């Protein structure tokens, strides 16, 4: 699943390509919007909140296109008649201007609302780690409200703080020395974990190659994520992984049994 830094980069790319331009063609390939035509509308802005993308379009009235990448979604930009890099059957939204075409592939959510309802799309989310209104104290308060909840599960809950996915959840647990299944209340310094989360996403916000170790070389970019069976970078113990979380919403977590003893 794309992390918050990936979504913010996507928002920035869409903003650069589309903002200020008039849409010459639109195609919404989802049943509820199949007849919608926003051609002639002007793109005002694209921004991100956590993992949600909001593209503002003025078309007779102020509208907001809300999209969510889900597990496999992506927005891609093309010039002229460039061939798409993903199958057309995966396209869910096509926005075309005279110069560029933006295609949203395999999007989990696509909806268009009047802009007065835009706030309702993200009001359930916690503070955005990369947002202008980031509030670390509120993030700590929300995480602390369920002290018995497994820390990895709490970090992945976008209602606590918005932008963390599997990669950062595992890496933050490792750098904080807590097992993913340990309760939030067992984290010795929760404000520090939250500050580290912000720092990790900020460090990767403007680069396509994500690294939590500071090393951009292949296979050296993470501490434990996707390194099961490999030696821990700190102590040499074999990194382990398992599916954790509530039934039906399990995610794979990675940890070092020595650096992160189990609960």
Residues 6+ apart with CB under 8 A from 260: 173, 174, 177, 178, 179, 180, 182
Residue 2 a catalytic site member: yes
Q: Active-site residue among 149, 205, 226, 251?
A: 251
Residue 159 a catalytic site member: no
CA 240/CA 257 separation, integer angstroms: 7
Residues 6+ apart with CB under 8 A from 29: 91, 92, 93, 94
Residue 183 a catalytic site member: no
Both structure tokens of 192: 């520090």
Q: Active-site residue among 2, 127, 150, 180?
A: 2
Contact 155, 172 (CB under 8 A): yes
Q: Active-site residue among 9, 51, 56, 92?
A: 51
Residue 149 a catalytic site member: no
Q: What residues act catalytically?
A: 2-3, 51, 251
């Amino acid at each position: 699943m794309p992390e918050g830094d990936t979504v913010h980069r996507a928002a920035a790319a869409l903003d650069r390509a589309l903002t200020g331009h008039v849409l010459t063609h639109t195609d919404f390939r989802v049943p509820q919007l199949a007849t919608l035509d926003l051609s002639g509308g002007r793109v005002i802005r694209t921004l991100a909140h956590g993992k949600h993308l909001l593209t503002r379009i003025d078309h007779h009235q102020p509208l907001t296109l809300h999209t969510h990448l889900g597990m496999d979604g992506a927005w891609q930009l093309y010039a002229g008649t460039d061939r798409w890099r993903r199958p057309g059957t995966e396209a869910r939204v096509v926005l075309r201007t005279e110069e560029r075409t933006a295609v949203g592939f395999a999007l989990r959510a696509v909806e268009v609302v009047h802009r007065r309802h835009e706030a309702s799309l993200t009001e359930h989310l916690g503070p955005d780690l990369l947002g202008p209104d980031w509030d670390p104290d509120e993030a700590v308060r929300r995480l602390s409200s369920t002290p018995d909840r497994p820390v990895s599960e709490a970090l992945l809950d976008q209602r606590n703080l918005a932008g963390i996915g599997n990669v950062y959840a595992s890496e933050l647990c490792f750098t904080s020395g807590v097992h993913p299944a340990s309760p939030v209340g067992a984290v010795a310094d929760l404000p520090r974990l939250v500050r580290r989360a912000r720092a990790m996403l900020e460090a990767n916000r403007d680069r396509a190659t994500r690294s939590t170790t500071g090393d951009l070389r292949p296979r050296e970019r993470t501490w434990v994520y996707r390194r099961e069976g490999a030696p821990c970078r700190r102590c040499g113990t074999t990194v382990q992984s398992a599916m954790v979380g509530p039934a039906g919403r399990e995610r794979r977590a990675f940890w070092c049994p020595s650096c992160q003893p189990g609960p």
